[in-house]
Structure 1
């Protein structure tokens, strides 16, 4: 078994691959694979001609982030000790992969780890997707050191440490191959968004830990496949957040959380509607309706989670209250 593989999921990435892949090739000691989610552009031809050292796994359809990684990584099962999942729009730094792997080797009770993730467009600012380590509040809302909702902090070295977190970012995470396959990977029903948080939650329920290593940094462009302001992204986040809570929380606690989230997000939907953003308002409603229609899909998975519950490492129970009512915008203020 080899030590590690960097695995990049690609869908129509002909514009981002030439910008970001050279840094991966220059700074990585791992094998480099690209899983192609049935791209319709010329990205496969680009890879074959411009990056012949990169190995390609071709999928027959676009299975999203979750399914794409699941089906693609099946081809690598048993070949590598560590899998490094990396977005196609991430610029890496020297020895990044070996330093993250070394971190996991020093801490065998951790299943996965993420680096410090900074913005590619503003390199002094934290990135939305993971920033300085991810946490969950009591309602399942994710937040990060360096990013609370859409407010980003400037990197001043405040998160250059290492610590235990609730979830690692799918933009850049190293995971033990055995743990990934033991959990049967991501939940393919999610398609995209929240699937890495769900996987990390399942890992924590199984007794494993999730880590953050601030000594390693990468730069993420973000929005290469789906813009953060997209109604489709909002819909997926709403639906998948409810699905994740339904799977991993006790049933009685879930329905209390569901009621609170429904009240808060109904207010958000009304605000979007009053501002004229009908698509965003409909995306919230559709997220709830789609969850209610599809929750039966998770019943078998719930039976496997014998000791469910949300284990929070972060400092707050109700992020909504701290952010919108108390006006706290930085992690250090929570």
Structure 2
């Protein structure tokens, strides 16, 4: 049985595959490499089959985003191949490094309670800086806003070894997510309604609610281009981030009676963030935030059913960062993870 399956989801990403797939294969340590193609309209599939015959290609019938695409791909591997102990899901725009696999696998082997893990994520273009998508492990504040060790909002720290430890975190990035396969299928994988963005945070929250742990491994490093499928300035990305954050918060917030006050405060803060987009003249992003809120309202019946089901399954209360990172960052001037924690 293969210990690990390396699975890359691709949508019209042939340039990234040409650039980064050789390093993945060179550093796969004998583990099988899969590319799950989400009905690309470029020549990705023929390019892989011509140039990388050792790669196992899974052709998906349509583009269902990160969440639905990986659900289909990992179900296919689970059904048609020898079932691995772990999956690792590097984005197509991830540059792996020699020895990137061994430290993470050793950490997860040593602690069966670790269901998900990530390496350090540094920027491909500014290689000493931590990258936006995950940095050195992520956290969630009491209003559902996310931040990372090494990245808080637009402040990116230089990696000088301050996060080289192995430790629990709240969420591990989907840019290069290691996940225990048995547990992934046990919880039903990603929530496909998210399509893309924050589905890995929702997954990590659910994993912790049933007693598992999420870690970051400081002995492994990869580099991330970022925005390979949706650029950070794309209004659809704004829409998905705002909508999915509300989805995640409603589904997973503890049953303590404070859900709706927090949701209403979040909606107000989201609205206030529109002022920044207004100052920048980015009206399409303001419309994206409004659409995200209306999509949240429309999805409430489904979210409520999911919330009730998750509450029945829960065996462990999950702790969030007990302060507002918006207040800490913008009002108190705390720009780094260390300042936030202190």
TM-score (structure 1 length as normaliser): 0.96
**What is the rounded CA distance, in whole Å, between the counterparts of 1:317 and 1:308 in structure 2?**
24
**2:338 is aligned with 1:328:** no
**What is the rounded CA distance, in whole Å, between the counterparts of 2:192 and 2:123 in structure 1?**
28
CA displacement at 1:309 relative to structure 2: 8.6
**What is the rounded CA distance, in whole Å, between the counterparts of 1:297 and 1:144 in structure 2?**
29
CA displacement at 1:280 relative to structure 2: 1.1
Question: Could you tell which deviates more after superposition, 31-40 or 97-106?
Answer: 97-106
Given that residues 172 and 214 in structure 2 are in contact (C-alpha distance below 8 angstroms), is that contact kept between their aligned partners in structure 1? Answer: yes
**What is the rounded CA distance, in whole Å, between the counterparts of 2:92 and 2:115 in structure 1?**
23
Q: Give every structure 1 segment of 4 or more consecutive aligned residues whose post-TM-superposition deviation is greater than 4 Å.
A: none
Q: Provide the residue aligned with 2:128 in structure 1.
A: 124
Match of 2:293 among 271, 282, 288: 288
SS in 1 for 2:237: helix
Q: 1:222 to 1:145 in 2, by over 3 A?
A: same
Deviations 1:154-213 (CA, angstroms, capped at 9, x unpaired):
111110011100000001111110110011000000000000000000000001000010
CA displacement at 1:97 relative to structure 2: 1.7
Q: Provide the residue aligned with 2:305 in structure 1.
A: 300
SS in 1 for 2:133: coil
**What is the rounded CA distance, in whole Å, between the counterparts of 2:316 and 2:284 in structure 1?**
33
SS in 1 for 2:15: coil
CA RMSD of aligned residues (A): 1.5
**2:210 is aligned with 1:206:** yes
Q: Provide the residue aligned with 2:245 in structure 1.
A: 241
Q: Provide the residue aligned with 2:90 in structure 1.
A: 86
**What is the rounded CA distance, in whole Å, between the counterparts of 1:24 and 1:219 in structure 2?**
12
Given that residues 28 and 94 in structure 1 are in contact (C-alpha distance below 8 angstroms), is that contact kept between their aligned partners in structure 2? Answer: no
Q: Provide the residue aligned with 1:41 in structure 2.
A: 42
Q: Provide the residue aligned with 2:57 in structure 1.
A: 56
Q: Provide the residue aligned with 2:323 in structure 1.
A: 317
CA displacement at 1:311 relative to structure 2: 2.5
Q: How does 1:87-126 map to 2 (within 5 A)?
A: 87-126=91-130
**2:25 is aligned with 1:18:** no
Q: Provide the residue aligned with 1:160 in structure 2.
A: 164
CA displacement at 1:313 relative to structure 2: 5.9
**What is the rounded CA distance, in whole Å, between the counterparts of 2:62 and 2:302 in structure 1?**
21
Q: Provide the residue aligned with 1:146 in structure 2.
A: 150
Q: Provide the residue aligned with 1:225 in structure 2.
A: 229
SS in 2 for 1:327: coil
Given that residues 116 and 133 in structure 1 are in contact (C-alpha distance below 8 angstroms), is that contact kept between their aligned partners in structure 2? Answer: yes
**What is the rounded CA distance, in whole Å, between the counterparts of 1:222 and 1:276 in structure 2?**
24
Question: Could you tell which deviates more after superposition, 162-171 or 300-309?
Answer: 300-309
Match of 1:193 among 190, 197, 205: 197
**2:71 is aligned with 1:70:** yes
**What is the rounded CA distance, in whole Å, between the counterparts of 1:262 and 1:291 in structure 2?**
10
SS in 2 for 1:121: coil
- Unaligned stretches of 5+ in structure 1? none
Question: Could you tell which deviates more after superposition, 47-56 or 295-304?
Answer: 295-304
Question: Could you tell which deviates more after superposition, 296-305 or 118-127?
Answer: 296-305
Given that residues 249 and 309 in structure 1 are in contact (C-alpha distance below 8 angstroms), is that contact kept between their aligned partners in structure 2? Answer: no
Q: 1:308 to 1:208 in 2, by over 3 A?
A: closer
How many equivalent pairs are there? 333
Given that residues 11 and 37 in structure 1 are in contact (C-alpha distance below 8 angstroms), is that contact kept between their aligned partners in structure 2? Answer: yes
CA displacement at 1:308 relative to structure 2: 8.6
SS in 2 for 1:227: coil
Given that residues 119 and 220 in structure 1 are in contact (C-alpha distance below 8 angstroms), is that contact kept between their aligned partners in structure 2? Answer: yes
**2:274 is aligned with 1:269:** yes
Given that residues 164 and 313 in structure 1 are in contact (C-alpha distance below 8 angstroms), is that contact kept between their aligned partners in structure 2? Answer: no
**2:139 is aligned with 1:135:** yes
